[in-house]
Structures are given as C-alpha cells and as structure tokens.
Structure 1
C-alpha cells in the first residue's frame, strides 16, 4: 500500500509552481515544512532536495535572510506550510554529478583497497543505521528526526537506499540517498575508517552503472567528490538526465568485496 500511495500522481503537487529554469542558481529555491514521504519523493523527482533548519533559531535566520527573495518572487513559499522557513529546498546550478562512465578511483584509494583490510560492501542491509550514523557528531543537524523518519518510509517503499562498508562485522562507512530513474541523489555519507565513506560512494556508482543508471548526484561540490570523478553540469542537463527514460534494474544488494573497486 505504501509503494502504491507514493507512486500515485498527486492532483495538486506543491512542486507544480516551481520553475527551476527561473530559479536562483545558489541557495534555496523554495521553503516549506512538508516532509511527508510523498512530498519528499516529488521533490527529488523534480530535481530538489531538502535542507531542514535544526531549530527555531535557524528558521529565523532563514526568514531574515531570504524574506526579500520571497517577497520578490525569486524564492517560493510552498502552500499549506505552518512553519514555512523550517525546510529549505535546494537545486543548485551547476549540479555536481558523477557520471557512471567517468567515475574515478584515486590512486591512494586503489592502493588502500589492495593493501588494507578486506572490506565488504552491501546495499540496504541497515538503512536506518546508516542514516543515523550520517548525522552522528554533526553540529548542524539538518538530518532532523522528521526527515529521518520520511527517509525510512521512502526506503520501505523501495525509493531510498543505503550502501554499507564492513570490516568483518563492523560497519565502518556508508552512504544513502534516493534513486529517481537513472539518477541516484546521494544525501550524505559517513566514515569510521579512513577512506570508507569514499568507498561507499564508489561502490554505489559501480552498482548503479551495473543496474543501468547514468549518474550519482553528490549535491555539494568539493575536492573530495572531484577526486571521485564529480564534475559540475548545468542544472538543465541534470534535469534532462533525471527525466530521461529509465531502462535500468534494481541495485544488487548482496555482499561484494570492496577490493574489486581497485580494478
């Protein structure tokens, strides 16, 4: 029933009023406090992702900072929000993507995979545990309880997935996000052993390629994702990829040796 309810088109989508062609390239393109799973999935399908405020102080900062943009119509307020500045919805332009046919494994990481501990990777073995670990120790907790609960429901419905990195029976790294057709939007990652978070992203990219996917959206640009092959692409190109026909299959979930990623 949950999968059916999330798949069914909603007659009045809150995203229907968002035109990303005219949206600002940096910062939020919209605000609204609706984090229901169906709203969340709709956002990813339209090329947006959420960034909740951690508490009242951050909501006030959002309002003070962006009220002029909202008043000018450049940033939208989603209808029906009780606390409209509680969640920022983002869609940066350009968008940092790892195209699966251009993914890289840096030399030092390949060496670590060959010479280091024999790690194993899996998919969807402990989704909620990975999400909780991704927010552990973070001072700005954008992964709020409400967002975590919505992500767990998306996982239960088959839309959100995690990659785990294991050293024996110990979870040492991971990543999670939402798959929309040929694109996987990776929300966060964690590392308890040097390099384990990178291995999770590389493994995700490899499994997505094998499942017929085209790109991993890493959301935030930076040197750490550039080393894995991420490159900024125009938002319009990202949206084209997102809405392109999906001929892929499900990600393989079984355990695989991380050492294969060094080949």
Structure 2
C-alpha cells in the first residue's frame, strides 16, 4: 500500500499539482515516481501559503488530492504535467558546433554515479525558488543508495564541470535537474547519461518541464496517458554503467 494509491494521476490537473502532502522519504519518492509524479517542495512558508490560496479550490472539488502526512500539506506539491516533454535516451541533440568541439581533443570525460551528492549540491546552488531542499536531497540520496537515482557527470581533469541527476523507473529515466560550470557541459551530461541508460535497455528520458532549452535537446511533448503507459511497460533494464568514458564517443 502507498499513500499515492488513491491519487487519480490520469484525471488530475495537467497544468497544476495533482496532489499535496505526504513526505519525501525514499519509499514515498519511489511510489510517486512510479505513478508519474515528481515533487516540488515549497521554498518557505510564503510559498506554502500561496499554494494553499491558489490550489485549495481544486482540492475542495477533488480535482487535486490532499494526502496524509506532514504538518503543512501545502508545503509539498506533486506534479504530473500533461503533456510531458520526453526524448529518446540515445537521441539527445548536441548540435554541430558542440559536436565539432567534442570530436577534436576535448579535455572532458564522463562518468555516472561517481559524484551523486556533489551533483545534487551543485544543482541546488543559487536556484530560486529553492525546491531542492535538504529533505528532498536526503530522500534522493537514499534512492541513489538503492540504485534507483542516478547522476551523470562531466569532468575536466578532476574538476566537475557539469552534471545531471534523475530517478529511473523501469524504462523511463526522469531527469530532475542539471548544472554546468562550462558552456554546454550540462547538455553533454544529459546526452551521456541518456546514452548509458539506452545501453542498459531504457526507452525514454522524461524532462518533466517543457521549455526552449529542453526542446533544443530534442524533447517533444507526449500526452500524459501515453507517458504513463510507457512508464508501466514491463521492459527489462539492466544496471547503468559508471565507467569513465571519453566524450568523443557521443558524436
């Protein structure tokens, strides 16, 4: 049994939170991602009060669910956008300019799951609003220990210059956030992690939020019903390779 069992994800809002409340433990996070939900904690009490004022009518009509757990349910929102921006894991666009740079003796190399905690920290730096809270990072770290949450890293020598992290459920890898300290390093991190996921048998990268940058990577909108069907598909996916690899293999 899960606290999300009664949540109507298919019929929930596509442009607002599907549910509020519960917690950010590993069990709750995994149950949510398995149902096509991802969390957005409120940055502070003012953001929580905004959620309550903005979305309480939807909760009152049953359009959104209010879940048990937590002193302030509106401090934690669960989203499932419709449509959902997705892309094939082996088909992330790098662009011709970046491809030429990577092909000609780039100093970068890549890895996976080598620096998960550091990638989380870098993704949280300077972001407003603050959604990657300490509590969420703790839950994600536990999922990483279970082999469910993964990070992709781009290195220049021994310096981490780009990264991305997400949660894998069956054939879908849901990408939560990315960062870069060099131009295009985040794009390379997504392409590399996607290639590793494809090699393991994965079928879909979920970018969660649509936008110009995500579209530039090759993402296309997918109706939520189809996305949920892909998420539930019984596809064998093996372990992700964490091997250190040259970026030139991506072009």
Give the match for residue 225 of structure 1. Answer: 214
**Which stretches in structure 2 are left out of the alignment for 5+ residues?**
none
C-alpha distance 102-166 of structure 1, shift in aligned 2 (>3 A): closer
Separation (CA, whole Å) in 2 of partners of 1:40 and 1:122: 25
Deviates more, 1:89-98 or 1:222-231: 222-231
Q: Answer yes or no: is the 8 Å Cα contact 1:33–1:85 preserved in 2.
A: no
1:117 aligns with 2:140: no
Q: How does 1:45-60 map to 2 (within 5 A)?
A: 45-60=34-49
Cα contact 1:14–1:78 (8 A) shared by 2: yes
| In 2, Cα distance between equivalents of 1:195 and 1:244 | 33
Partner of 2:250: 261
Contact (CA 8 Å) 1:163, 1:200: kept in 2 or not?
Answer: yes
Q: Is 2:158 the counterpart of 1:166?
A: no
Distance 2:70 2:154 in 1: 38
Q: Is the 8 A contact 2:21 2:77 kept in 1?
A: yes
Q: Distance between the aligned counterparts of 2:201 and 2:123, measured in 1?
A: 27
Q: Which aligned runs of 4 or more in structure 1 are off by greater than 4 angstroms? A: none
CA–CA separation in structure 1 for the residues paired with 2:13 and 2:129:
24
Aligned length: 251
SS at match of 1:165: strand
* Structure 1, 101-110 or 15-24: larger mean CA deviation: 101-110
Corresponding position: 1:96 with 2:94: no
Q: Name the SS for the 2:58 alignment partner.
A: helix
Q: 1:127 is matched with which residue?
A: 116
TM norm structure 2: 0.97
Deviations 1:181-207 (A, max 9, x none): 111001000000000000000111111
